[in-house]
């Protein structure tokens, strides 16, 4: 099968791969590029574990064809910490006991990051709405919501 070239930036680094046409971004990231932070929980766009940020918008990488991402800027949870320092959301998830099995965590953090990028001081309802596409089967929603609210507060303190 003829391969298709794709080129994009992943967490600020240039990436180029030849893929089979029809390959999902999730499989391209995990199997080709080796970034396994997005997880495949359902491969049908219902669990949110594969969430990534494409050009500032939250996307389900299991429903996104890699070949549609040419020239895009893609962010995943593995690219959030800088120089070994955790991103405020990662710090808040850690401190708030907002992880259990951890499988949904990177998708949750992606959804939360897009929310805070657009709405730096969200209400609790806005946090709930922003995370509504992400399933935590361990049902640890309350600590996750609290972590996002805490991260928002620490962001606004840093800005002040």
Does 40 help bind another protein (rule: CB under 8 A)?
yes
In degrees to the nearest 10, what's the CA dihedral of 118, 43, 138, 141?
20
The answer to whether 79 and 11 have CB atoms below 8 angstroms apart is: yes
Q: Is residue 136 close enough to count as binding another protein by CB under 8 A?
A: yes
Q: SS3 breakdown of the chain: % helix, strand, coil, rounded to 5? A: 40, 20, 40
* Binding region for another protein (CB under 8 A) out of 39-47, 53-61, 118-126, 152-160: 39-47
Site for another protein in 70-89 (CB under 8 A): 76-78, 80-81, 86, 89
| Nearest CB to another protein, comparing residues 46 and 68 | 46
Residue 98 near residue 134, CB atoms below 8 Å: no
> Does residue 99 belong to the site contacting another protein (CB under 8 A)?
yes
Which of 58, 74, 104, 152 is the binder for another protein (CB under 8 A)? 104
Cα–Cα dist 46/55, whole Å = 21
Q: Mapping DSSP to helix (H, G, I), strand (E, B) and coil, where does residue 73 land?
A: strand
Q: How many residues bind another protein (CB under 8 A)?
A: 40
Instruction: Tell whether residue 49 is a contact of another protein (CB under 8 A).
Output: yes
Half-sphere exposure of 129 (CA within 13 A, CB side): 8
| Footprint on this chain of another protein (rule: CB under 8 A) | 30-31, 34-44, 46-47, 49, 76-78, 80-81, 86, 89-91, 93-94, 97, 99, 101-106, 109, 135-138
């Amino acid at each position: 099968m003829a391969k298709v070239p794709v080129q994009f930036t992943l967490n600020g680094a240039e990436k180029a791969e030849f893929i089979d046409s029809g390959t999902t971004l999730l499989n391209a990231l995990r199997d080709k590029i080796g970034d396994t932070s997005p997880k495949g929980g359902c491969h049908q766009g219902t669990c949110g574990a594969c969430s990534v940020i494409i050009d500032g918008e939250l996307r389900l990488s299991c429903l996104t064809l890699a070949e549609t991402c040419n020239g895009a800027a893609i962010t995943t949870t593995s690219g959030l910490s800088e120089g070994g320092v955790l991103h405020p959301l990662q710090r808040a998830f850690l401190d708030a006991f907002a992880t259990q099995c951890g499988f949904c965590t990177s998708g949750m953090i992606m959804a939360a990051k897009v929310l805070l990028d657009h709405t730096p001081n969200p209400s609790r309802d806005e946090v709930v709405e922003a995370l509504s596409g992400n399933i935590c089967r361990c049902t640890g929603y309350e600590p996750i919501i609290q972590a996002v609210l805490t991260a928002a507060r620490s962001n606004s303190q840093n800005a002040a």
